[in-house]
Structure 1
Amino acid sequence: MATLALRIEGMTCERCAETVRQALESLPQVRARVSYPSAVAEVEVPAGTDAAALVEAVRRAGYGAEPLTPGGRRTGGGDGAGLHVAVVGGGSAAFACALRAAERGARVTIVAAGTIGGTCVNVGCVPSKILLRQAHVRHLAGHHPFEGLERRALAADAATLAAQRAARVAELRHAKYEALVASNPAITLVRGRARFEDAHTLRVALAGGGERTIHADRVLVATGARPAVPPVPGLAGTPYWTSTEALAATRVPPSLLVLGASAVGLELAQGFARLGSRVTVLELADRVLPQADVEVSAALRAALEAEGIAIRTGTAAERVTHRDGRFRVETADGALEAEALLVATGRRPDTENLGLERAGVETDARGAIVVDERLRTSTPDVYAAGDCAALPQLVYVAAAAGTRAAENMTGGEARLDLDVLPWTVFTDPQAAGVGLTEAEARARGLEAETRVLALDQVPRALASFDTRGMVKLVAERATGRLLGAHVVAAEGGEVIQSAALALRAGLTVHDLGEQLFP
């Protein structure tokens, strides 16, 4: 008998690994062990067995496979053999880069200062979506639209809800990050804070004390971002929340003021309102989601206000005080008070104290690292990805950037293409968009026309007794070429990818009209 190793692609859980094992063992005299965390199958086969038969068996099961050499590298190889790649950061961009660089033959050292997993899994996407779903269930119990079903207000045990969020976060952090590092011999995790000595040298203040110097052929900076707190007089001395504290909160405050009406502010405003808080949102711009299409902003605002959330646009916080357990926010139109204050005014790149100047790495006015489409910085051999770079602060952009940076660090020529970039705000209804807004199209000198469909004209929405929202398409008048799509609807984020694919393919609205949709 002989032992072969395969790199398995496309697995998303332990059940996938079991499916791959069964596919391999369907071949005569084959025994297999498949690891989901490391994406590797170790297969015992009769001597002389062609690996192509194993690859084909995996392919028939719906996954990809590629033979590995005894050292754990792809036989097809990358150009990373012999290279040492250092990754500064421990989030989505960092791990995407580390895994791809290791796949391409590089030796990788991750230097992580905080909890690995980064913003998304620890204090962002994952816990916020759990909170929103928890709040959604409570809201439906008391406000569903169906006659003949009891409506009642469910009690909310905030501490138990927070514990459930934390448990799922820990589970995903282990499965998607900790286990992957532990099972990959090409990746070493160093816990500490890194600082550049030069473009190829990092000085690391170790978490357990002492220092370590790391020399690398290539370096990726992927340190993420942190909440941006505005310089409102009095704010710094108060126990305000950022999204981090809000998502870990073990209480639902009776009243909550939210500064900022972009994605984070609106999601958490609705989440806490549905759990029982009386919520007021303040936004400096003249509308919520100021970067979205104006009709998206209007439709989402109407939906949130219908639930009792107070929204004040064109309003600046001029001073904040905290006394006797209550916040007071002064504005030009008077003062507002609440038991809790959430600051959700954006995030700033976390690039301070990295010694970037020693490596000659340029940043913009916000402190974001300037990169090109191949994620290269101003310094050869130093790359950047994720929220610390001058890129859209979205987790899927971060992961894509990290992967492409790894390709390029190891001899590839991968480009980060952001020409078609869908986005979603996970309120209820959700807001989503891709491509140009009507205003952006006209600003570019395009002769655009638009169509807006209110959801009270959609049978599926009528059948669900939920007609909140609209769909808006922006097209080039002369050709019908789709320029943008914008949605406010329950689970609207699930449909925006169809529009993204249409934009990528250059389809017209007439092409879309010819398609069959279930």
Structure 2
Amino acid sequence: MKKIQMEIRGMTCASCEDHVRDTLQKNGAENIHVDYQGGKADFQLPDGYKEENIKEKLQKTPYQPGEMIRISSVSEKDASVEGYDYDFLIIGSGGAAFSAAIQASENGLRVAIVEKGEVGGTCVNIGCVPSKTLLQAGHIQFQTEQQLFQGLTTSAQQPDMVGLQNQKEKLVNQLRKEKYEDLIQEYGFDLIKGEAYFRDSHTLSVEGKDLTAESFLIATGASPFIPNIPGLKETSFLTSTSALELKEVPEHLVIIGSGYIALELGQMYRHLGAEVTLMQRSSTLLKHYDPEISESVENMLKEEGITLLKGVSYHKVENKNGQKFVHIEVEGKPETIQGDQLLIAAGRKPNTEKLQGENIDLELGEYGEVLINDYLETNISHIYAAGDVTLSPQFVYVAAHQGGIVGQNVSKQTKKTQNLDHVPAVTFTSPSIASIGRTEHQAKQAGYDVKTSVLPLESVPRALVNHQTQGIFKLIMDAKTNQIIGAHVVAENAGDVIYAATLAVKFKLTADDLQETMAPYLTMAEGLKLASLTFDKDVSKLSCCAG
């Protein structure tokens, strides 16, 4: 098989893609990918088929062929890879895996993904997609019950969790099919079902069958970490996965942990009607953020009736008559927290136990993570790793970024390094929490002469008209250059706002740059400009739009 990329002029929409794809398929092409926006088509032709025949057929349609490039030919692969079943084998099928598979397939490699469960990984199946749709449902329920406008009368019935779960599952199935399963045929790589482990550095064993490859990617993700608390293993408890499958709202949800998963799921069930208690070992909520952010989020939790216990020591967990009893100590005083559901949200651990990495002397870190260099290579140079299994920032867009780099590097097209200097982080509470760059503490530790700006949300007109002023903007500036080196937001749509701040940090914009840029009035993004003005002015003394 030879892989071809052809320029095609005249395509204007997705229907044009379908027409071109049909023409190519009828004339012997396989593994076809058509991109009307890019004006090109990638496809494979069996050896012996003439590319000119394809051109002649397309010339008889409204779509005109242009330059044709022969990307690769399986028959032309190096003698060194003769005998391997694949050029590139990937363990896992999430964001990192698919990004790598698509890139490598487009570059002409024979690629296969090995997956033991549902295709799509954590994000689409048990993470981002199902959690965010239920979070939105909880937000609407809570806003209906607690709306802040005089003159409006709203009411809400008890949520139908079965109905919400059914709608959530339909969405998950749709996105898994469209964004993952359908792409397997589209890009022409193989899907192999089963659990994989390394027999040697060029061989995976999958359900008793050995598969060989020149290169590999470990993209097995991470799963909930279960702390060693006496009695916990003998007690039924929820994880982030099973908490998204409940058919009834708990009366009292007790949560061990207070990170982003605990905050999102805890607030979601509070919004749906549950009593919620969050517990954490640390004496500070969100200890990696600056105090203003932590305080703002803690005030939000209190306003919504969520109980937060800090500085907790866990003694034991018991299960009696369907109730969970968590025996703790807070400030030297013993307490027992009782609830009908217990959620463990104490972090995540890399999925490396089943890989049998000891067979190949694969180097792992303290927490079982796969150790990698800037090229995403492990200590075995033809074996790469990407995504949560490396304990990189646990966001699907980070995993996809890393997977794409692996796909290029393994194709010998480039020798690219990952760049995680400007990774925005978002926690989808309401208001949401978003961050980019350094905190004030981190900036000072790095030796910056720091100047900060703190803007309460009550100074942002969008928040005032919404009657929702719980939140804050905080900017960190290098006092010597006036460059913005950090931005942290607690506000409605903070996740959308933080993208503009990410550009500001990445491209070294100054406070003056933000001040001189027009911000749409009555948007939350205007808070960035107002926060930049706060370095030098009291924005409460400015008229609307006076910035």
Superposed, 1:309-348 pairs within 5 Å as: 309-333=306-330, 334-348=335-349
C-alpha contact (below 8 Å) 1:79/1:104 kept by paired residues: no
In structure 1, C-alpha distance between the alignment counterparts of 2:395 and 2:337, rounded to whole Å: 32
Identity of aligned residues (%): 35
3-state SS, counterpart of residue 331 of structure 1: strand
Does 2:217 match 1:220?
A: yes
Change (3 A) 1:105 1:154: same
* Counterpart amino acid of residue 326 in structure 1: Q
3-state SS, counterpart of residue 337 of structure 1: strand
3-state SS, counterpart of residue 194 of structure 2: strand
- Where does residue 276 of structure 1 map in the other structure? 273
Does 2:285 match 1:288?
A: yes
In structure 1, C-alpha distance between the alignment counterparts of 2:382 and 2:402, rounded to whole Å: 16
- Where does residue 13 of structure 1 map in the other structure? none
C-alpha contact (below 8 Å) 2:253/2:274 kept by paired residues: yes
- Where does residue 461 of structure 2 map in the other structure? 459
The one of 106, 110, 117 equivalent to 1:107 is 110
Does 2:421 match 1:419?
A: yes
C-alpha contact (below 8 Å) 2:6/2:69 kept by paired residues: no
C-alpha contact (below 8 Å) 1:257/1:338 kept by paired residues: yes
- Where does residue 143 of structure 1 map in the other structure? 146
Cα offset for 1:18? 8.2
* Counterpart amino acid of residue 155 in structure 1: Q
- Where does residue 75 of structure 1 map in the other structure? 69
- Where does residue 40 of structure 2 map in the other structure? 66
C-alpha contact (below 8 Å) 1:78/1:410 kept by paired residues: no
C-alpha contact (below 8 Å) 1:142/1:154 kept by paired residues: no
Cα offset for 1:42? 4.6
* Residues 241-284 of structure 1: CA deviation (Å, up to 9, x unaligned): 00100001111111110111110000000000011100010011
The one of 145, 153, 160 equivalent to 2:156 is 153
The one of 76, 87, 94 equivalent to 1:91 is 94
- Where does residue 48 of structure 1 map in the other structure? none
The one of 234, 240, 246 equivalent to 1:243 is 240
In structure 2, C-alpha distance between the alignment counterparts of 1:174 and 1:497, rounded to whole Å: 28
- Where does residue 486 of structure 1 map in the other structure? 488
Cα offset for 1:425? 0.2
The one of 233, 242, 245 equivalent to 2:230 is 233
Change (3 A) 1:473 1:78: farther
- Give runs of ≥4 in structure 1 deviating > 4 Å: 4-8, 41-45, 78-81
In structure 2, C-alpha distance between the alignment counterparts of 1:6 and 1:150, rounded to whole Å: 61
C-alpha contact (below 8 Å) 1:387/1:398 kept by paired residues: yes
* Counterpart amino acid of residue 423 in structure 1: A
* Residues 424-461 of structure 1: CA deviation (Å, up to 9, x unaligned): 00000000000000111111121111010011111111
Change (3 A) 1:495 1:42: farther
TM-score, length-scaled by structure 2: 0.83
Larger Rg: 2
Which consecutive unaligned segments of at least 5 residues does structure 1 have?
Answer: 9-16, 25-30, 36-40, 46-53, 206-210
- Where does residue 19 of structure 2 map in the other structure? 32
In structure 2, C-alpha distance between the alignment counterparts of 1:42 and 1:511, rounded to whole Å: 50
* Counterpart amino acid of residue 415 in structure 1: T
Superposed, 1:464-483 pairs within 5 Å as: 464-483=466-485
* Counterpart amino acid of residue 495 in structure 1: V
| Paired positions, count | 475
C-alpha contact (below 8 Å) 2:109/2:411 kept by paired residues: yes
Change (3 A) 1:216 1:517: same
3-state SS, counterpart of residue 434 of structure 2: strand
Change (3 A) 1:7 1:271: farther
- Where does residue 84 of structure 2 map in the other structure? none
3-state SS, counterpart of residue 248 of structure 2: coil
Cα offset for 1:64? 1.6
In structure 2, C-alpha distance between the alignment counterparts of 1:76 and 1:288, rounded to whole Å: 56
* Counterpart amino acid of residue 443 in structure 2: A
Cα offset for 1:69? 5.1
Change (3 A) 1:79 1:379: farther
In structure 2, C-alpha distance between the alignment counterparts of 1:228 and 1:78, rounded to whole Å: 44
The one of 15, 39, 64 equivalent to 1:21 is 15
In structure 1, C-alpha distance between the alignment counterparts of 2:186 and 2:40, rounded to whole Å: 18
In structure 2, C-alpha distance between the alignment counterparts of 1:335 and 1:354, rounded to whole Å: 40
